[in-house]
Structure 1
Amino acid sequence: MTLHVQFVTMGMMVLGGLSLGGLYDLYRVLAGQLRAPRYAYYLLDVIFWLVGTLLVFKLLYESNLGEVRLFIFIGLLIGIVGYFLVFSRTVIRLILWMIRVVQTMVRIGKKIIELFIIMPTVWLYRATLIFLGFLAAIAIFLYRIMLQLFYPVWKLLLWLFKLLTRHMVVPAWLQKTGHKISAFIRRFF
């Protein structure tokens, strides 16, 4: 391995250490913000280490075809320590700010959906109910007026019908059928 390859590998490992530190802060902040069950954190730990390992080995393979030497671990350690000393607070603040931005966007999205979809639908539903109730009240009012207007006519027709049926002889079978029909109708009213 030439000196140039060793410097490139050392630089890549420092970069890998910085990336691992950033990935760890991202994982730590997100795990703190998520309200997940306890077993989910074990799964997140495994995912973190898989992603971190793949990242480091990808950088190692790209820089020196995967040869592992002592200075590789030193480079990773320098990168991680440097990250935590220099960048960690800033990255955590940035991640928390991004989480707040996303939460604000979700809250604004919910308000927009509520304002432009849910509330108009509720108002339309209520207006429809009020309109149908108004129509029902008008129909009941008109029905009662019609009943009062036709009551004298109904009485007159009933009186005429009784006069006509008084002098008519109705066969017994027709009377029996009429009584059955009237008994059937009285069950419902």
Structure 2
Amino acid sequence: MNPSVQWITLLWMLFSGAAMGMAFDSYRVLAGQLHFPRWSKHALDFLYWVAAALFIFRMLYVTNDGQLRFYVFVGLFIGVWIYFLLWSVITQRFVVMLIQAAKGLLSILYKLFRMLIWNPVRGIFMILLGLLRFLWKFLLSLLRLVLKCLMPFWRLLKWMLKPITSRLKLPAWCKQAANKVIKAWQRWF
């Protein structure tokens, strides 16, 4: 392997180390701000390291056909070290700023959703519900009025059919069902 490929590989490993540090800082700030459950932190750490390893080996494969040398590890270490010396605080503040901006945007979107969609739909639903209640009460009162008007005819019919109905014997289950219907009827009307 010629020296130019080795220097290019070293530079790419410096860049890859810095990218790993940036990804780690971003992940760490996100995990702190979003309060992931404790059990998920281990899985997320594992996923970070798997993704970092795949990224490093992909970069290594692109730059020098995947040959693993000592200077690759030195380049990664120096890249991470330089990143943490120079850019770590800036990255953390930037990620916190992005999280705050995202929270603010989500808060605005939530308020817009409530104001433009949820409250009008809820208001229409409440109006329809009130209208249905009014119609139901109106129909019940109308039915009561009709029943009160028909009550004399019912009593007359009952008096006329009394000789026939007094001789009929209804089964017990029919009487129980009739009693349930009468109780429900009295509850509603």
Whichever residue aligns with residue 64 of structure 1, its letter is: N
Shift of residue 89 of structure 1? 1.4
Selected match of 2:164 from 166, 176, 188: 176
Cα deviation digits, residues 127-186 of structure 1 (max 9, x gap): 1232234445555666677788x59xx59xx6xxx9xx8xxxx9xxx71337769xx7x9
**Partner Cα distance (1:9, 1:133) in 2:** 77
Cα deviation digits, residues 103-146 of structure 1 (max 9, x gap): 22322232233223322222122212322344455556666777
**Partner Cα distance (2:121, 2:166) in 1:** 53
CA separation of 1:129/1:79 partners in 2, compared to 1, >3 Å: closer, same or farther?
Answer: same
**1:19 to 2:19 alignment:** yes
**1:85 to 2:73 alignment:** no
Match of 1:103 in 2: 103
RMSD over equivalenced CA pairs, Å: 3.4
CA separation of 1:49/1:145 partners in 2, compared to 1, >3 Å: closer, same or farther?
Answer: closer
**Partner Cα distance (2:106, 2:28) in 1:** 22
Shift of residue 4 of structure 1? 0.8
Larger Rg: 1
Which SS does the other structure have where 1:9 is aligned? helix
Counterparts in 2 of 1:98-137, with a 5 A limit? 98-136=98-136
CA separation of 1:141/1:78 partners in 2, compared to 1, >3 Å: closer, same or farther?
Answer: same
Which SS does the other structure have where 2:36 is aligned? coil
Shift of residue 21 of structure 1? 0.8
**Partner Cα distance (1:143, 1:107) in 2:** 51
**Partner Cα distance (1:147, 1:20) in 2:** 83
**Partner Cα distance (2:60, 2:14) in 1:** 11
Across the two proteins, how many residue pairs are aligned to each other?
175
Aligned residues with identical type, % of pairs: 31
